[in-house]
Structure 1
């Protein structure tokens, strides 16, 4: 019997995966996130696969590994995590008053012979209210944008600027839990407590 492993250091993904009620451990993948395509769905699927595969070598036979990655896309341009406050300001300035897409890619690997793999991406549209420069700077001053794709966290202070979404809220936070759980059901019986 194997373990369920989350290949991510994200506290948000850890919290979301815990909603499944399945026991799991966290082993972050120590890979460099390099986007090699301009297609957001392809990018997050590839990054999620890389994260899962990075942990595969440290997993036992029959373990189930989950890798995930999230990006924001505006006008077909991928926005990752901001490198600094100036980049966060630039991203938020472009997002304010508009709608954009959030993509999360997920890979589920079952180590063993043969290796089983499922990779998918989920898309959610987010509608952001207009923001003044002062509001953007005040938000950046919280420090919240610095480790998040698109420079915002929908579950934090930025929530007051979100007019609405179309799709899965948890996907915007970082993990489409209900869709993932559908894939994990078949492994549920084999996971250790």
Structure 2
């Protein structure tokens, strides 16, 4: 039986998979994201946001593949999935804010405006014929015009500090997202339709990963 290993510490990504009937293994990468992006920019120049998240998703998968837990080191039934998300606003890309002050400033810029949440997906097939492939899900997000008090209250919860773009759609930040255009799973951090496409390219129908399968 093929097993899916999620190379991410994100509880939202794991919850998304669980809700879709997939109970993944989890291993967290130790990738220095800033260093990866700096190295890529030195080599290739300014990265498109959709390419930046894909590069980081790939780096996470490759790091986990090099450092598998002992009980998985010789496994030949694994598909490794890495994801990374960033918000694009006015041509700039934003990951997790460094602190509450940055989250507050970010929201004062975002409120009443529209951005694009990019989530890169990288799939590594470790079975008989190894393969790697990836793609990016991009969803347009319209933010509500929050008051300063709403922003301060939201930042005080700590939630915006833990997520790309400083917002969630499946948590306390949900009321502050007026509408989206695209896959809402991608905004949570893992696009299920895109995952289905990637799995199909390596011959794995998504029902075969369901817990009852």
Structure 2: distance between partners of 1:138 and 1:32? 31
Q: Tell me, which stretches of 5 or more residues in structure 1 are unaligned? A: none
CA distance in 1 between counterparts of 2:130 and 2:177 reads: 41
Aligned to 1:33: 33
Q: How many residue pairs are counted as aligned between the two chains?
A: 193
Match of 1:157 in 2: 172
Deviation at 1:85, TM superposition (A): 0.5
1:102 aligns with 2:139: no
1:182 to partner: Cα distance: 2.7
Any conservation in 1 of the 2:53–2:86 contact (CA below 8 Å)?
A: yes
The alignment partner of 1:187 has SS state of coil
User: Which of 64, 71, 88 is the aligned partner of 1:55?
Assistant: 64
Mapped contact 1:3–1:192 kept (Cα < 8 A): no
In 2, the alpha carbon distance for the partners of 1:20 and 1:66 equals 15
Q: TM-score by structure 2 length?
A: 0.83
Query: What do you get for the CA RMSD once the two structures are aligned?
Result: 2.0
Find the aligned partners of 2:149 and 2:25 in 1 and give their Cα distance. 41
Counterpart contact for 2:87–2:116, Cα < 8 Å: yes
Counterpart position of 1:172: 187
The alpha carbon displacement at 1:125 in A equals 0.3
Which of the numbers 172, 187, 192 marks the counterpart of 2:204? Answer: 187
- The structure with more helix, counted as a fraction of residues: 2
1:8, distance to aligned residue in structure 2 (A): 0.6
Deviation at 1:107, TM superposition (A): 0.5
Range 55-64 or range 23-32, more displaced: 55-64
In structure 2, list runs of 5 or more residues that go unmatched. Answer: 41-45
Q: Structure 1 CA distance, aligned partners of 2:209 and 2:114? A: 40
For 1:112 and 1:173, the matched residues in 2 are separated by 28
- Whether 2:51 is the aligned partner of 1:42: answer yes
Tell me by how many angstroms 1:96 deviates: 0.4
Change (3 A) 1:168 1:149: same
Counterpart Cα distance in 1 of 2:162 and 2:141: 19
The corresponding residue for 2:153 is: 138
Aligned residue number for residue 85 of structure 2? 70
The CA deviation at 1:23 is 4.0
TM-score by length of 1: 0.91
Q: CA deviation at 1:53?
A: 0.8
Q: Are the aligned partners of 2:111 and 2:143 in contact in 1 as well (CA < 8 Å)? A: yes
